[in-house]
Structure formats: C-alpha cells, structure tokens
C-alpha cells in the first residue's frame, strides 16, 4: 500500500507542477464545447433533439479522460529512458503494486481534469438533468479513467521510444473517441458503424455519463456499468502482466 501511495502522490505532483499541462488539459475540451456546442446547437435543436450542449458535454468530459488517461503511459517510457523506472523495479516491492500505483495516479489526474472540464461546461451553459446523479457520474468518470490509464500503461510496457507510443496512441485514441457517440447520437447509425460503436469501450463510458448527467441513454445504465467494470478488471490484469515482463 505504501508503494501505491508513493507512486500515486508522485503522479499528482507531476501534474500540479506543470502549469502548461493544466492549461492544455482544458483548452481543447473548451474549444470543442464552444465551437461544436454553439455551432451545431441550432441544427440539433431544429432536428427536434433538444439542447445540444446537454448532449455534448458528457462526451467532451469522456474525451478529456480518454486522452489524459491513455497518454499517461508515456511517463513509463520517459522513466525508462532516464533511469527512474529501473530504480523503481529493483525495489523490494511487487510489480503489481507499482502498476496499481501508476494506474491510480494517472486515473486521479484524469479525474481532476474531467472535473475542471465539467465546471467549464457549466460556465458555457450545461446543466445536469439531476444533481442527485452526480455521485454516480463520478463513478463512471473513475471507471473510464482506470480503464484507459491501465490500457496506456499496458501498451507503454511493450514500447521503448516516444515516437512508437505516439503513433500507436493516435491510431487507437482517435477512433475510440470519434466512434464512441461522444459527438453524435448512436440511434439510426448504419449497421456496420453501430457494431463498431458497441465494440468501442468508450461508448459505454460516454453513454453512462450521458445517462447520469443528461438523462439520455442508449445501452442502459446497468449495461454501461457492468461493461466498464469488467473491462477495467481485464485490462488491469493484462497491464499488470505486461508490466511485470518489462526488462531492465
């Protein structure tokens, strides 16, 4: 537990020491909220779907968690190249503990960024359908953060250079986001695209957040919760195995 706490605290210190990272974590989501929210809002409303900002905000919050969580894995490569990872791995602690500590730290950072974006979305006009659902929305944020932080760590455990990680992450993250229903409703999609959306794990995170914050659900709240929990456990197990195989 001490190892997990130390690594968790280290991740938080890195985040708060970097002002540019804090600013960057909210700049892109704010641009999406303003440009898409106000740009497509009238079209969405004329189509009889209601307030587009209420639909969009949960998707942008999910996007923030996804990008931040997955790219936390790059810190493993950074630490490997500069020797800190070797010092950590030779310590008399289990690699499972190191993996859990890194995942907890990265997920907490992603959660903080998501809460910042939630506040910003309130500033540009978003209002939750029910304030009583906020604790459940927080649960979904945590599950998304844990799932994709573990995924980023698992992939980074297989790589040794920044360029390879960035290429793979861009190839993975962009489809995950754009095919998750974060920017468009999943109802009425072509059959092939609908199948892809169901395979996309982020779809269940977006749908869960949208259900709790906006009262709009496609898969059902129970399905979203079960899929995210099972996926998080599986990816954590795989990530722990891959991390244990890192050569120093």
Percentage above 90 pLDDT, the chain: 23
Quote the pLDDT of residue 212. Answer: 94
Structure tokens at 95: 């690699």
Q: How far is Cα 60 from Cα 29, in angstroms, rounded to an integer?
A: 6
Closest CA to 122 of 114, 133, 110: 114
Regarding predicted confidence, which is higher, 22 or 221?
221
190: left (phi over 0), alpha (psi -120 to 50) or beta: beta
pLDDT band at 30; cut points 50, 70, 90 = confident
> Model pTM?
0.86
Comparing 88 with 230, the larger pLDDT belongs to 230
> What per-residue confidence (pLDDT) applies to 125?
83
Residue 192 has pLDDT above 70, yes or no: yes
> CA 4, CA 33: separation in Å to the nearest integer?
35
Per residue in 197-235, is it b (16+ CB within 10 Å) or e — as a string?
beebbbbbbbbbbbbbbbebebbeeeebbebbeebbeeb
Between 13 and 169, the higher pLDDT residue: 169
231-243 tens-digit pLDDT: 999 988 888 787 7
- Of the ranges 62-66, 103-107, 158-162, which is most confident? 62-66
Q: CB atoms < 10 A from the CB of 49, how many?
A: 14
Identify which has the larger pLDDT, 102 or 114. Answer: 114
Positive or negative, the Cα torsion across 14, 16, 20, 26?
A: positive
d(CA 151, CA 89): 20
pLDDT(84) > 90: no
The residue-averaged pLDDT of 63-81 equals 78
Q: Residue 29: its pLDDT value, please?
A: 85
Report the chain's mean pLDDT, rounded to a whole number: 80
190/157 Cα distance (integer angstroms): 36
Angle (CA) 232 192 180, round 5°: 40
Computed on alpha carbons and rounded to an integer, the radius of gyration of the chain in Å comes to 18
- What is the band of 140 on the pLDDT scale with cuts at 50, 70, 90? very high
Q: Which tokens go with 55?
A: 């639909």
Residue 136 has pLDDT above 70, yes or no: yes
């Amino acid at each position: 537990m001490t190892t997990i706490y130390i690594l968790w605290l280290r991740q938080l210190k890195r985040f708060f020491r970097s002002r540019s990272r804090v600013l960057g974590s909210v700049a892109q989501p704010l641009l999406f909220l303003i440009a898409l929210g106000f740009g497509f809002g009238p079209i969405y409303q004329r189509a009889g779907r209601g307030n587009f900002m209420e639909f969009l905000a949960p998707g942008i919050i999910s996007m923030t968690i996804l990008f931040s969580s997955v790219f936390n894995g790059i810190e493993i490569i950074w630490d490997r190249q500069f020797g800190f990872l070797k010092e950590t791995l030779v310590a008399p602690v289990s690699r499972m503990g190191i993996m859990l500590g890194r995942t907890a730290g990265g997920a907490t950072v992603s959660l903080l960024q998501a809460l910042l974006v939630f506040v910003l979305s309130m500033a540009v006009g978003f209002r939750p359908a029910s304030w009583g659902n906020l604790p459940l929305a927080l649960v979904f944020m945590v599950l998304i953060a844990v799932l994709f932080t573990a995924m980023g760590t698992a992939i980074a455990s297989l790589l040794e250079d920044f360029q390879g990680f960035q290429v793979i992450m861009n190839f993975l993250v962009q489809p995950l986001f754009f095919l998750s229903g974060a920017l468009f409703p999943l109802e009425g999609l072509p059959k092939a695209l609908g199948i892809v959306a169901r395979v996309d794990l982020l779809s269940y995170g977006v749908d869960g957040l949208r259900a709790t914050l906006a009262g709009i659900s496609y898969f059902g709240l129970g399905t979203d919760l079960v899929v995210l929990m099972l996926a998080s456990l599986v990816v954590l197990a795989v990530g722990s195995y891959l991390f244990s195989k890192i050569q120093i």
